[in-house]
Structure 1
Amino acid sequence: MVASRFGRVLRRGAAPLPRTRRSLSGAALAQLGAQRFYVQPGERRAYGPLGAELKKNLLQQWWASALGCSRERILPIGSPLKLANGVTAVAARALPFAVSDRGSDRAGALQQYVPSLDLVGRRLPFGLAESGVCFPASEEALRGVELRCSPVTSAAEVTLASLAWFSSPRTSSQWLDHWTRQRMKWWRRFASTPSDFTSSDVDSKDLKSGTSHGVRILYRFPWGSEPLETLWSLGDTELLRTHQGARTKLQCRDGRRSVVPYVISMSSNMDHGLLAYLSNSLQQVQKVDGKQRLHQRKVLKLHPALAPVKVALDMGRGATVELRQVCEGLLQELQEAGITAWPGYLETAPQSMEQLHTKYDEMGVLFTMVISESTLESGLLHVRSRDTTIRETKHISEVKKFLLKYISAAENI
């Protein structure tokens, strides 16, 4: 019942009172990102604890999507990063801008194509997926780090998640259409405003030799549109070049025929994705109460699957030692269940409930729980929802089950 009720809330964006929403500027995004532990402006790809957790969650969702689409036909791989001019990956981090002689993140998948054939019975189609840090070299890769000029962060390296899909030449165009739809659906799945995510064909003058088609998935930031992901239809040119034209060892079965596969390459910039979801989720919510008074608040409405913190634990007035012990016990129970919790009870500066709600809304925390004297007496505590601002009373023994059901329901929406 709990899961279904909150599933309906998530689907319809329900609120107890009429309200309007509007997105905020890049400056507001930068300020909140720094203030609420997401990013550090001026630092090269430096994330605070919440930014690091958000990036981890985003990567986990990408892997779940990639392997879940066709688990027996998509294999995870890991390719070593090779840098130009003999520079090592460790040394490159000290350079103002380092470049990779891989040319792109897909080179690792092309190199591992032949060793992977036995795992798929030399049958098409199949894919190889990987993620990791890249130091872009190509013009197209450089386009993928344009956010170094954004008001939020700069870039010299990017975290990419990539999938190389090998299919028969006769079905390659259909597979490109299929993956474009799937990838757009994935990006929009976690969005508060899905229409901010769009796609466009790559101009023919930007296509490389051997590339027949390209599609970019873009996000409309306050400062302009930026690419999140690029899909290329590569034909067999790069695969043949990688393996010195050895067509015989590259052939796979397409029904009864043996063919050299065509390659569709998909590359997602996780750093851009993180900023896109921060921008898409940051809203100025206006609410009119029963007395026709206007209230405004900033809220980071990250999708529950991406939200770095699911619940914040704070304590009200009362016997401090006993309340803290209850908070610590509940924190441990939630963490053991895989639920990320913020130990707000450790902060010593006094704050009103309104200040706490403001802080946690801007951090994107799904629920705030306050342990008070009544918790010690009856086991009851208050649970406030970020999205509805409704406060409910629950027994402390029900909290873990309640959160797990909520998160499970949100995952399936």
Structure 2
Amino acid sequence: MTMFTYCVRRRVIQIHGKHITRWMVQLSRPFCAQGTASSDLTTTLLKLSADRSFIAPGEDNSQAIRHGRSCVYGPLGEELKKNILEQWWTSVNRSKAQVFGINSLHHGPSDEGLKLVDASAIEQLVNADLSKAEILASLQQLVQHSSSVRTNLLQGALVQCLPSLDLVGRKLPFGIAEAGTCYHISDSSTSGIGRTLEWTEASLVWFCSPRTSSQWLDHWTRQRLKWWRKFALSPSDFSSSDVEEGELLRGASRGVRLTYRFPWGDEALESLWSMGDAELLKAHGNAKTKLQCKDGRKLVVPHVIALRGNVDWGLLAYLFNALQLEKKPLSKQRTHQRKVLKLHPTLAPVKVALDMGRGATVELRQVCEGLLTELLEGNISVWPGYLETPQSLEQLHSKYDEMGVLFSIMISEGTLENGLLLVRSRDTTIRETMHISEVKKYLHKYISANV
């Protein structure tokens, strides 16, 4: 059954003859105009991202990721996204006790938000021999009985607050974390009809005493900014700022944005909101007594601190932050621009690339396969370059630098004779000789030192 989504805030459908106009709510601002230098850098990064399988080729994917939306990621992009989410989850889960993970439904019964509506049912209504009033009444009924898709993860955490209170013995504070896909309608200035867009949100909803909510907002602001900077090559590109009163989220008394300085300007990667107890009470039918907890001698309804992160903006921020353009002389007449993604060792999708030099092909490949198996068993991601068409060292190094590969290893005839191989570092370009038995231990030590 063909489906489409649209927003149903207040009265969203008007009939003019038999043409349907939908009034959309703009939830994201348009992409900022860029100067020449920033435009060149953006073009370079997006081309590299497509060439090296971070995003799938195509203008739609380029436009999606540069607007902070989910796109069709390639294998390396999906791995990078997974690594970011793993580190995010570890950060919020281990920073404080009593943080629980949940997984709420993408859609369900609701009177608000975006609705999933059967397009064929609307077509039948529009083409039916009915009056405007009858069409409008039928459309409203169709919308009313359709499922909603989530526009954020807050609601799922608010619903789970009550059973979680029993789990923690009604003691504050505690948190509920979740990551998943959310949806919204884009604004279209030409046709008046927006497109359904999606992005990956990472959410932590922190339930605390009303008297400590301000301190907790400050705490999580510091903690989250420190986390974003931890994996950055240039930490100063990440910053925080208070949200002005006129831009506060509905129901919030205070807000903070964590932003990244892109070539075209700042974009919010994460927002933190002090929500009070209004939204929590609303989610539970204003049943105040069911939500009360002990705060000293008082009974209080928990206050909510909501953290909402856009993982797709975060992924793009780390790609921009890691991109280095270095001029490398090839000869007196020619220079080469070395493009390298100096992604943090923990986030880099591929840690090691294995290649082999000329020589006894069968024996060298057996050594490569043995080392590859050993590294994979040690949870070190490996690129099997020895299976590809042979390339020059310069071509291999350029490729791996653009993929963000931490180390490339060359196995040669010498490895067969004495167990020695060459290990090249992405960041220093220095090649050093190492015994094959030391490689796994060396890589583990290097990666763990940067966690």
Asked if Structure 1 and Structure 2 have the same fold, meaning a TM-score greater than 0.5 normalized by the shorter chain, the answer is yes
Q: Find the aligned partners of 1:253 and 1:33 in 2 and give their Cα distance.
A: 52
- Whichever residue aligns with residue 85 of structure 1, its letter is K
| Structure 1 position 104, deviation (Å) | 2.2
Deviations 1:157-185 (A, max 9, x none): 11111000011111111111111111111
Higher CA-based Rg: 2
Q: Find the aligned partners of 1:190 and 1:23 in 2 and give their Cα distance.
A: 25
- Whichever residue aligns with residue 238 of structure 1, its letter is E
| Structure 1 position 296, deviation (Å) | 4.0
Does residue 1:135 correspond to 2:176, yes or no? no
Task: Describe the SS at the equivalent of 1:192.
Answer: coil
Q: Find the aligned partners of 2:233 and 2:196 in 1 and give their Cα distance.
A: 26
Q: Find the aligned partners of 1:344 and 1:61 in 2 and give their Cα distance.
A: 28
Does residue 1:79 correspond to 2:104, yes or no? yes
| Structure 1 position 64, deviation (Å) | 0.7
Q: Select which of 42, 48, 68 maps to 1:32.
A: 48
- Whichever residue aligns with residue 399 of structure 1, its letter is V
Task: Describe the SS at the equivalent of 1:25.
Answer: helix
Q: Find the aligned partners of 1:87 and 1:232 in 2 and give their Cα distance.
A: 32
Q: Find the aligned partners of 1:288 and 1:182 in 2 and give their Cα distance.
A: 42
Counterpart mapping for 1:32-71 below 5 A: 32-40=48-56, 41=58, 42-43=60-61, 45-70=71-96
Contact map agreement 2:150 2:182 (CA 8 A) in 1: no
| Structure 1 position 24, deviation (Å) | 7.0
Q: Select which of 155, 175, 178 maps to 2:216.
A: 175
Give 2:402's aligned residue.
362
Most deviating of 49-58 and 203-212: 203-212
Contact map agreement 2:116 2:149 (CA 8 A) in 1: no
Most deviating of 42-51 and 307-316: 42-51
Does residue 1:248 correspond to 2:278, yes or no? no
Give 1:18's aligned residue.
none
Contact map agreement 1:24 1:282 (CA 8 A) in 2: no
TM-score by length of 2: 0.76
Q: Find the aligned partners of 1:400 and 1:87 in 2 and give their Cα distance.
A: 54
Aligned-residue identity in percent = 64
| Structure 1 position 23, deviation (Å) | 12
- Whichever residue aligns with residue 250 of structure 1, its letter is L
| Structure 1 position 133, deviation (Å) | 1.0
Does residue 1:404 correspond to 2:444, yes or no? yes
| Structure 1 position 223, deviation (Å) | 2.8
Counterpart mapping for 1:318-337 below 5 A: 318-337=359-378
Contact map agreement 1:23 1:284 (CA 8 A) in 2: no
Give 2:351's aligned residue.
310
- Whichever residue aligns with residue 48 of structure 1, its letter is G
Most deviating of 352-361 and 302-311: 352-361
Q: Select which of 148, 152, 155 maps to 1:104.
A: 152
Give 2:165's aligned residue.
117
Task: Describe the SS at the equivalent of 2:449.
Answer: helix
- Relative to structure 1, the CA distance from residue 66 to residue 23 in structure 2 (aligned partners, 3 Å threshold; closer, same or farther) is farther
Does residue 1:159 correspond to 2:200, yes or no? yes
Aligned CA-pair RMSD? 2.6
Unpaired segments ≥5 residues, structure 1: 1-21, 89-98, 144-153
Task: Describe the SS at the equivalent of 1:156.
Answer: strand
Q: Find the aligned partners of 2:336 and 2:106 in 1 and give their Cα distance.
A: 51
- Relative to structure 1, the CA distance from residue 238 to residue 188 in structure 2 (aligned partners, 3 Å threshold; closer, same or farther) is same
Give 2:68's aligned residue.
none
Q: Find the aligned partners of 1:208 and 1:341 in 2 and give their Cα distance.
A: 44
Deviations 1:32-89 (A, max 9, x none): 000111012423611111001000000000011011101x32111111112643459x
Q: Find the aligned partners of 2:148 and 2:232 in 1 and give their Cα distance.
A: 32
Deviations 1:132-174 (A, max 9, x none): 111136xxxx79xxxxxxxxxx982111110000111111111
Does residue 1:391 correspond to 2:407, yes or no? no
Q: Find the aligned partners of 2:440 and 2:406 in 1 and give their Cα distance.
A: 14
Q: How many residues align?
A: 365
| Structure 1 position 107, deviation (Å) | 0.6
Q: Find the aligned partners of 2:438 and 2:447 in 1 and give their Cα distance.
A: 14
Contact map agreement 1:380 1:394 (CA 8 A) in 2: yes
